[in-house]
Chains A and B, each alone.
Chain A
C-alpha cells in the first residue's frame, strides 16, 4: 500500500478543487456568452435563425455531456486538431452550458408580459431599444434564480472532465487514490468538497427565488 493520507495529498486535492472552480467559471462565462446569443437567436424575427438555434439546443440537450467531452477531445484529435484537456473540457462545457442557459434565458425573456413589448413599440422604440431598455432589465430579474441554480449543475458536471485527463477535483481524487488505495475516505472527502461548493449556491438560489415573489416585477399586470 502507498502509505497514509498526508497534507501533500490534501494540497493536491486542493489544487484539483481550484481547477474545478476555474473550469466552472470558464464554462459559465463561455456558456453565458454563447447562451445569450442562443437566447436571442431563439426569439429572432428570422425563421431560419430560430430553427438553427432550436436545432442546436435539441442536439446538445439530447447528447450526454460525457459524449460531448469525448467528441471534443478524441474527435478533434482524429481530424488532426490536437487540443489539451483544458481546451477540450472548456470548449465542450461551453457548448453544453450554452444550450441550457440559452433556454433558461429565452424563457425568461418570453415571460416578460407581451403588453410590455407593445407599450415599448407604441413609444416608437426600435427593437434593440425595446430589448435593452425594457425587456432585458425585467428578464434578468426573472432569470437570476434559475441561473444561479444551474451553476450548481455546472460545478457538478465539471467532474466529467476527469475522463479526458483534466486534473480537476475528481481526477485529482482518482490520482491520489491510485497511490493510497483508500477509495472510501478519498471519495468521501471529494463529495464533501463538492457539497461545500454547491450548497451555498443552492441556498442563494432559493433565497433569490423567495425574494422574487415580492419583487418589483409585476408578472401579471391588471
Chain B
C-alpha cells in the first residue's frame, strides 16, 4: 500500500485531534492528494459556504507516491474552497513537508472550524496536538519555522505556515513550507489565517512501510529516474536554468504578457531571464544564481537558489535578505517583472523574497500590481491614493507595494484583494487579467492559443498547472502543435487536464511530464499500491477528478460566463511577434471543449457523462 490508511481530523473550534481510517474505496477511485482530498472536501462542505468562514474546511493531503523513492515524490496538496475565486482551490507544494506527513503515519489532515485563538498543529508520529501560537502571530513564515524548531528543540521538524499575508487574509496568501516552497495559488493561506491556524509542524520517524512490492518498486522507479535524466528538458534544461529557461523563449514567441497584457513582448526580458541569473553582476562580480536545489526525492532539481546584490537599493540597509534564498522561478520573474514592465532582476528577487517570507503568491500579487500600474497610468488611481508613484517599469514602486501588501499597510490592503476586486472597485473590471478572479500566469493567450482555453476552463481559476499545453505548443511534448491555431486545442486541453489530475493525485510533480507520460507513472503506482491500476482506470480517474471539481464549482454558483477571458485578449490583437494581429479564439474553442467533455452548452456535465465516470 502506498497509503498509510490514516486521516487526522482536527477540529479547531473544539480543539480536538482525532484519527480515522482512510476511505479506501475513495482511494481506489481518486488515488490520493488532489483527487482524494477533493473527494473528501466536496463530500463534507456546502459548495456555497463562505470560504473564510469556519464552515469551510482545509485539507492537506499526500498521494501514494509521496514520501517514496519515485522521483519528485514529495508533493502535498492543500484543498479548500478558495477565497480569491469562490471555486475549488487546490494548490500543491514540493519541499519536504509532504513526505514528513507520510513518515509520521498519516495520509491527510482535515482542518475544520476556527480556533478561538491562534494555534499551531504539532504532529509527532501518532501524537497530534494544538499548541498556543499567540507568540507566533505576527511573525513571518521564516521566523515561525525557526521558532517552532527552537521550541521543540528539533531541527528536523518540517513546517508549513502562513505569514502576515495569511493572517491578514490577503486573498492570494499562500502556505509556505521549508522556507521557499509554497502551496501558492488561490489564497489557501487566507483560509488558514481565517481558521487562526498559524502553522502545521510535522515530525515523522515511522517511514513508508507498505509499498506493495518493494523490489519491483525500486527497480521501476530507478528506470523512470533514468528517463528523466536522459531527457533534454528534465535532465539538462531544468537543472541548469530552472523554469526560467522559458523567459527568452516565450518572449521571442510573442507570448510574454507585458504591462498588464497590453504588450506581448518585453524589451527587458533578457535582463530578467535564466541567462541573466547566470551572468556576473557588474556591481559585485557575483552571479545572481548560487545553485540549483531539489525538493524531496526529486532527481530533476529545477529549484533556484540565488543571492541578491547586497548593494541593491532594496536591501542595502537590510542584511537579513543578503543570504542565499529561493528564486527566481519563471512565473514569479514574469509576474513581478514583465507584467509590470520592471526589468530589474534584483528588485524582482527582493519582491520574491518578501512573497516567500510573508506568504504571498507572487503570480497573483505581481499581476495585480500590473493592473494597479495601468490604472495609475490612466489617472484612475493617483499618487495620493496609492501613497507612491506607480508607473509601469518602476522597480521602486514594485518594492514598496510588495512591502505594503505583505504587511497590510495602506493601499496594500486593496492590492491584497486581488486584481478583480480592485479593478471592479475603481470602475474598470475589464482591466483585471483574471479568470474566476484568479490572475493569469506567464503565457499570453493570443500567442499560445491552447493556454487561453486552459485558463478559461481551469477549475481553480486562471492557471498554467492544470493543463500545461505549453509543453506541446512550444516544446513539442509529446507532439508539436501550432501555438497560433485553435484547431485541436480542445482535445489537447482535455487530455492534458485529465492526465495532470492523475500526476497530482499520485503525489508527484507535474514537471516530470516533460519526460514522462501517464504510461511512465502507471507502473510506479502499480508497484506501490494494492489493486488494479490499468491505464484505462487511470485515464478515467483523471477525467473523474476533473468532473468532480467542475460539479463543485457549478454547485458553488459558477457558470459558463465564468469560463471566459477578459475582453483585452479577445479584442486587442497582439501588436508584434509571431502572433501579431491575433486575438484569443476562446469563443470558438469553448463550445467544442464542452462537447468533447460531454457537458451541455452551459458547461454542465450531462447525466450520461456522470454515469460513465461513476459520479
Do A and B interact with each other, yes or no?
A: no
User: Which of B's residues lie within 8 Å of A, judged by CB?
Assistant: none
User: Which of A's residues lie within 8 Å of B, judged by CB?
Assistant: none
